[in-house]
């Protein structure tokens, strides 16, 4: 073969049909399903990406793609969003923002691996067979937000001991509403305090909920764990300030936004762990063999600037046990 003919032959390879070239491995796609909203979850998405990178060196756009689906606090959208990701044939489903996301994904597929965050017992919910050996196509992170309501109520009582009536915001559309309401009432009874519950489930109902609590002589407020409430964080914190209600929340982000105090797990660390598990599955691990990760570190955050605005002072004990003091 002449040299000119060889060069022409090699150069012409660029025009060969794709099927005739060496096949390149397809970039895996992660389905990211959240009950929350994208704007208020930016730092959590970054934590998830950090976990992916830590686990397997995965970087979005380089060696992995992410399809995002956000319910924005509208839980009834989750089944359709989960089904859509399943139709996309994603490699892994990362379900975040509470147990309703995980249950929607579980109902949509029994084969695609699911990595979840869950605040209730995933065994009782039928999501996994056991904590150590999940046994199916799902595993993830137990975030323990809901069981901490009693502890939050106790901290609120210590911060505002003069409050004989304590209010609670609970979303009736979120999981186990009746049980959670009863648990809050029982916890208030042990403190010899009365509790008044308001049940906003839409953006428009928040102001009237706060007004009704004040009318019922509420002097301190517990905002119960709920992804919809997380999407409304700025509004809830602003209303607590407007109605001059000392309030405790589930995540540090509320205190940073101007809330009085928070007690709960680091939600950013939970998202990072979901990213790590997602990376492990992309490398070949099976959810059935990855134990459910239980968060054990809780953080208590107080905001002294907000306390001053409310005309109150934290006790020396509360300041001493706080993990973070915002001044």
- Judgement on whether residues 124 and 185 belong to the same structural domain of the protein: no
What lies within 8 Å, CB to CB, of 271 at 6+ separation is 44, 45, 47, 48, 51, 96, 117
- Judgement on whether residues 105 and 56 belong to the same structural domain of the protein: yes
Take residue 104 and report the two structure tokens written for it: 């929607």
- Judgement on whether residues 228 and 213 belong to the same structural domain of the protein: yes
Which pLDDT belongs to residue 25?
Answer: 61
- Judgement on whether residues 215 and 130 belong to the same structural domain of the protein: no
Which pLDDT belongs to residue 297?
Answer: 83
Whether residue 171 is contained in a domain is answered as: yes
Contact predicate 165/138, CB 8 Å: no
Whether residue 22 is contained in a domain is answered as: no
Take residue 239 and report the two structure tokens written for it: 């209303």
Please tell me the distance from the alpha carbon of residue 14 to that of residue 311, in angstroms, as a whole number.
74
Instruction: Give the pLDDT means over successive 10-residue stretches in the chain (327 positions).
Output: 43 43 71 97 98 95 97 97 97 95 97 95 95 97 87 96 97 90 94 97 97 98 96 97 98 97 95 98 97 91 98 96 96
- Judgement on whether residues 236 and 273 belong to the same structural domain of the protein: no
Whether residue 36 is contained in a domain is answered as: yes
Whether residue 90 is contained in a domain is answered as: yes
Question: What's the CATH code of the domain at 138?
Answer: 3.40.50.2300
Residue 245: give the domain boundaries: 146-264+299-326
- Judgement on whether residues 194 and 224 belong to the same structural domain of the protein: yes
- Judgement on whether residues 198 and 251 belong to the same structural domain of the protein: yes
Take residue 186 and report the two structure tokens written for it: 């029982």
Strand partners, 114: 93, 138
Whether residue 189 is contained in a domain is answered as: yes
Residue 320: count of CB within 10 angstroms of its CB = 9
Which pLDDT belongs to residue 118?
Answer: 93
- Judgement on whether residues 319 and 178 belong to the same structural domain of the protein: yes
- Judgement on whether residues 101 and 69 belong to the same structural domain of the protein: yes
- Judgement on whether residues 187 and 276 belong to the same structural domain of the protein: no
Whether residue 6 is contained in a domain is answered as: no
Whether residue 11 is contained in a domain is answered as: no
CA 305 vs CA 242, 254, 274: distances in Å:
15, 14, 34
- Judgement on whether residues 47 and 165 belong to the same structural domain of the protein: no
Which pLDDT belongs to residue 21?
Answer: 42
What lies within 8 Å, CB to CB, of 299 at 6+ separation is 252, 262, 263, 264, 265, 266, 323, 324
Q: How many domains does the chain have?
A: 2
- Judgement on whether residues 165 and 222 belong to the same structural domain of the protein: yes
Whether residue 7 is contained in a domain is answered as: no
Helix, strand, or coil here: 68? strand
Please tell me the distance from the alpha carbon of residue 119 to that of residue 224, in angstroms, as a whole number.
12
């Amino acid at each position: 073969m002449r040299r000119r003919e060889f060069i022409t032959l090699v150069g012409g390879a660029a025009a060969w049909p794709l099927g005739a070239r060496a096949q390149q491995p397809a970039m895996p796609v992660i389905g990211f399903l959240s009950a929350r909203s994208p704007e208020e979850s930016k730092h959590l998405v970054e934590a998830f990406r950090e976990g992916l990178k830590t686990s397997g060196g995965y970087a979005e756009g380089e060696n992995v793609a992410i399809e995002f689906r956000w319910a924005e606090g509208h839980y009834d959208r989750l089944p359709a969003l989960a089904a859509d990701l399943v139709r996309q044939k994603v490699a892994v489903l990362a379900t975040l923002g509470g147990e309703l996301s995980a249950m929607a994904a579980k109902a949509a597929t029994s084969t695609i691996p699911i990595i979840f965050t869950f605040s209730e017992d995933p065994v009782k919910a039928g999501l996994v067979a056991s904590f150590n050996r999940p046994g199916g196509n799902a595993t993830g992170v137990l975030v323990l937000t809901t069981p901490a309501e009693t502890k939050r109520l106790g901290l609120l009582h210590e911060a505002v001991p003069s409050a004989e009536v304590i209010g609670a915001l609970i979303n009736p559309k979120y999981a186990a509403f009746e049980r959670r309401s009863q648990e809050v009432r029982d916890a208030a009874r042990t403190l010899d305090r009365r509790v008044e519950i308001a049940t906003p489930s839409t953006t428009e109902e928040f102001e009237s909920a706060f007004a009704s609590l004040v009318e019922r002589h509420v002097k301190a407020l517990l905002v119960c764990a709920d992804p919809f409430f997380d999407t409304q964080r700025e509004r809830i914190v602003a209303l607590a300030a407007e109605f001059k209600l000392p309030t405790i929340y589930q995540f540090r982000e509320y205190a940073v936004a101007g809330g009085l105090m928070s007690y709960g797990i680091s939600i950013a660390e939970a998202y990072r762990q979901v990213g790590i598990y997602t990376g492990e599955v992309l490398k070949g691990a099976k959810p059935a063999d990855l134990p459910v990760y239980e968060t054990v570190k809780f953080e208590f955050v107080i905001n002294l600037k907000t306390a001053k605005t409310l005309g109150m002072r934290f006790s020396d004990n509360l300041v001493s046990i706080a993990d973070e003091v915002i001044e």
